[in-house]
Amino acid sequence: MPIEGIFSNTIELLGKSIDLRAKNHNHISANLANAETPNYIPATLSFEGELRDALKSNKSANPGKKAVSHPRHIPLKGQANSLASVEGRIVETPAPGIGRDGNAVELEQEMGKLAANQIMYNASVQIIGKKFEGLKSAIKGQ
Amino acid sequence: MDFFTSMDISSSALTAERTRMNLISSNIANANSTRTQEGGPYKRKDAVFASTAPAAASFKSALQSAARKNSAGVEVIEVVEDPNPPRLQYDPSHPDADAQGYVAYPNVNVVEEMADMIAATRAYEANITASQAAKSMAMKTLEISR
């Protein structure tokens, strides 16, 4: 039985999700740090769509085969090659009312994003923990 | 995993906000100082914030930060003096009064300073929260294999 059989996509997907959320946390921290810097435009990492597309193409492709037939082929737009190649896009998210100093950070919005990102991160960590717990109890036969 | 980057970013902001808080304290403390070492009344001071990209180790990383791939911290690049004229108040008995009996008091508005102080406090708290979030996320990660 191949090792993907036990872990399937779950571990890779959740790991990627944790990684990207940690990166997103950096961006949100930077937005908060620059909440009063003139001419600063906040940015966040957007990866949900890309991750979903990667998951779809992973499922549709035969297991053990890559989505593209040649390693140097460039995948079609919106169709990421594999979960591992998902990196997300940095999108600028200026608040609707830019202040007189050109700063576009809205503190409430950033705090909301911070909380949401943290909750999603914790959720991914918890699910990955449960997955390992399930595997462990299957191994022990309890 | 680069939680430490996130913590560095947050702490750069804490330092900057604290510098700002020191300037605000100095402005309030000297709201009535008519004499300074440079001569004349005290002038209101303000911090100028600028975002900094983390130190670029290579050409590639410099290029990436130029393309806004890296998130940036913040620093106080300059402390500027408020160019507004001093507040003139009629007080002929004051030793620093001019020929017309007016004393030049600092251009500090205490109410404005208090509002600035609240803003600096809130910004400080927001960055503390971000730093705590990074810490709790890192601790949560350690629970995976438990």
CA nearest neighbour of A122 among B12, B82, B140: B140
Chain A residue whose CA is closest to B138: A22
Average pLDDT for consecutive 10-residue bins of chain A (142 residues)? Answer: 67 90 92 90 90 78 52 58 81 83 88 93 92 90 82
Residues of A in contact with B131 (CB under 8 A): 29
Residues of B in contact with A27 (CB under 8 A): 71
- pLDDT at residue B24 is higher than 60: yes
Name which of A32, A46, A110, A117 to mutate to probe chain B: the one with the most chain B Cβ atoms within 10 A of its Cβ: A32
Range picked from A60-69, B11-20, B57-66, B135-144 for highest mean pLDDT: B11-20
In this structure, which long-range contacts are made by residues B15-20, counting pairs with CB atoms below 8 Å and at least 24 apart in sequence? Answer: B15/B75, B15/B76, B16/A33, B16/B47, B16/B49, B16/B74, B16/B75, B16/B76, B17/B120, B17/B123, B17/B124, B17/B127, B18/B124, B19/B47, B19/B76, B20/B47, B20/B49, B20/B76, B20/B116, B20/B120
Distance from C-alpha of B89 to C-alpha of B81, rounded to nearest angstrom: 21
Cβ(B137)–Cβ(A122) below 8 Å: yes
Residues of B in contact with A110 (CB under 8 A): 126
pTM of the model: 0.76
CA nearest neighbour of B119 among A92, A4, A99: A99
Chain A stretch 1-20, residues whose beta carbon is closer than 8 A to a beta carbon of chain B = 18-19
Residues of B in contact with A23 (CB under 8 A): 2
Name which of B5, B122, B144, B146 to mutate to probe chain A: the one with the most chain A Cβ atoms within 10 A of its Cβ: B144
Name which of B49, B71, B117 to mutate to probe chain A: the one with the most chain A Cβ atoms within 10 A of its Cβ: B71
Q: Please indicate whether, in this complex, the C-beta atoms of A33 and B137 are within 8 angstroms of each other.
A: no
Query: Which residue carries 């299957």 as its tokens?
Result: A138
Residue contacts between A and B (CB atoms, under 8 Å): 101
Contacts of A132 (CB under 8 A, 6+ apart): B144, B145
Pinpoint the alpha helices (H) of chain B: 3-29, 59-66, 110-141
Confidence at residue A73, expressed as pLDDT on a 0 to 100 scale: 67
Instruction: For residue B110, give how far its alpha carbon lies from the nearest alpha carbon of chain A (Å).
Output: 21
The residue among B55 and B11 whose pLDDT is bigger is B11
Cβ(B130)–Cβ(B11) below 8 Å: no
Confidence at residue B145, expressed as pLDDT on a 0 to 100 scale: 73
Would you call A133 an interface residue with chain B, using a CB distance cutoff of 8 Å? no
